[in-house]
Structure 1
Amino acid sequence: MHNPSHKAATESVADPYVMAPAGEPERVLIVDDHSLVRDGLRSIFDDTFPDCDILEAENLDATLQVLADNAEVDLVMLDLNIPDVSRLSGLTRLREEFPHIPVVMVSGEFDARTVQDALAMGAAGFVPKSLKRAAIIEALCQVLAGEIYVPDMGDDSAQTEVDKIRTRIDSLTGQQRVVLGHLVAGKLNKQIAYELDVSITTVKAHVSAILQKMRVFSRTQAVIHANRVGFKL
């Protein structure tokens, strides 16, 4: 597992970076069957988030065990091609069993269809291994800030993701759309409950349903997605 004093070598030359986001991760799980890849990603986290606890796993079974044994993992970096998964089956399993943990897919090879499918299935981002070190750090910061990281694949891919967000928002009930509008306005649950004349428990249930239907992990992400498509009541 992680040795805080160890700074693994990586093939990329460290670019001078920038500031870490305000909400730094406390614990991250890196899943890849190649130790050199794990070392490279761990080096990035060690340099960018020096207080972060790094966990590792080589396959999906080990991943599930690590997550079961360790509470409050802030992020999972999941390789697309670990031995005991088929395409995106590992992502599907993690989203089913640990829906509150953001999962970023990592792959040496990727195509627009795979990226789109991963995001549609709830991935918090898709990071190609070919990205430069600084770009990977920027991607991680974006995800940790509650956004979805999409690699540059041309305008068509970006438009496809926007269309999917619109479709997910369209699946909300009328009351859920009203609650989403209040979230976008920055209102707290108790404020929403007062304005709608319902209980806080009811508001929480609506928020939970909104997050599930929009396939996001937090209110912040829901607001980011809503703003991305210009959502208004």
Structure 2
Amino acid sequence: MEPTYTIIIADDHPLFRNALFQSVHMAISGANLLEADSLSSLLGLLEKSEEPDLILLDLKMPGANGMSGLIQLRADHPDIPIVVISASEEASIVSQVKMHGAFGFIPKSSDMKVLIGALNQVLDGEPYFPIELMSDDATYSDLAEKIATLTPQQYKVLGMLSDGLLNKQIAYDLNVSEATIKAHMTAIFRKLGVKNRTQAVILLNEASE
């Protein structure tokens, strides 16, 4: 008897989520499929149900800013394989996704045959990253490694810095003290090897290009 897999599809676009739902059903007969349209609804699902066998994660949905959703999921649920499905197909994005612990990357432009093959490969325990999208840029890898050392909260603070928010505004939005934000800043600067917020934001932007 074939195993029954529980898979969560996390994407805020209803049409794509439905198409992916149908594709996964075709790829894996009898799969138990759950859906989430935001990071908060995904985290809610993970709290209420047993850990799934796989999460298919879109990088851009409510509550997730770039890599922040992936980073938070990896920190909170390190044992769940996460495959990113994204319309952003730049080599730098794929490298960053891999650096942050994703088990695979499937471009949204993939045809059905590629998608089914990738899903089966991942469920067999083998990571899936398209070779043609992998970057061998050593400089980028070094940068991605530095950013990967940030905690989910530090990454969130860095993202808010990039949006131009002041310490006071970040503290208010995250419901913590300014002293806590300053401590995060010190840790972020140390890990990234920079001296100020401008340099930190420049590094983040370089990694996101």
* TM-score > 0.5, shorter chain as reference: yes
1:151 aligned residue (130, 145, 152): 130
Pick closer, same or farther for the CA change 1:122–1:25 going to 2, 3 Å. Answer: farther
Indicate if the aligned counterparts of 1:75 and 1:104 stay in contact, CA closer than 8 A.
Answer: yes
Cα offsets for 1:147-176 (capped at 9, x unmatched): 11112326x63697xx99xx9xxxxxxxxx
User: Secondary structure in 1 aligned to 2:7?
Assistant: strand
- In the other structure, the counterpart of 1:122 is 101
Q: 1:141 is aligned with what amino acid?
A: N
Cα offsets for 1:98-129 (capped at 9, x unmatched): 11100000111221111001101100001100
User: Secondary structure in 1 aligned to 2:135?
Assistant: helix
Shift of 1:75: 0.3
1:138 aligned residue (117, 140, 151): 117
Shift of 1:23: 6.9
Pick closer, same or farther for the CA change 1:75–1:23 going to 2, 3 Å. Answer: farther
Q: 2:52 is aligned with what amino acid?
A: V
Pick closer, same or farther for the CA change 1:44–1:132 going to 2, 3 Å. Answer: same
Pick closer, same or farther for the CA change 1:54–1:117 going to 2, 3 Å. Answer: same
Separation in 2 of the partners of 1:82 and 1:24?
Answer: 30
Runs (4+) of structure 1 exceeding 3 A deviation are 22-25
Does residue 77 of structure 1 match 2:56? yes
Q: Any gaps of 5 or more consecutive residues in structure 2? A: 146-209
Q: How does 1:12-161 map to 2 (within 5 A)?
A: 24=3, 26-153=5-132, 157=135
Separation in 2 of the partners of 1:123 and 1:152?
Answer: 15
- Paired positions, count: 141
Separation in 2 of the partners of 1:150 and 1:158?
Answer: 13
Which structure's residues are more often helix, by fraction?
Answer: 2
Pick closer, same or farther for the CA change 1:69–1:138 going to 2, 3 Å. Answer: same
- In the other structure, the counterpart of 1:202 is none
User: Secondary structure in 2 aligned to 1:118?
Assistant: helix
Cα offsets for 1:39-63 (capped at 9, x unmatched): 1111012112221110000010000
Separation in 1 of the partners of 2:92 and 2:9?
Answer: 24
Q: 2:135 is aligned with what amino acid?
A: S
Which stretch shifts more, 39-48 or 98-107? 39-48
Indicate if the aligned counterparts of 1:25 and 1:75 stay in contact, CA closer than 8 A.
Answer: no
Indicate if the aligned counterparts of 2:27 and 2:120 stay in contact, CA closer than 8 A.
Answer: no
Q: 1:66 is aligned with what amino acid?
A: L
Shift of 1:24: 4.9
Separation in 1 of the partners of 2:2 and 2:128?
Answer: 17
Pick closer, same or farther for the CA change 1:124–1:69 going to 2, 3 Å. Answer: same
Q: 2:10 is aligned with what amino acid?
A: V
Indicate if the aligned counterparts of 1:75 and 1:101 stay in contact, CA closer than 8 A.
Answer: yes
Q: Any gaps of 5 or more consecutive residues in structure 1? A: 1-21, 168-233
Separation in 1 of the partners of 2:110 and 2:121?
Answer: 15
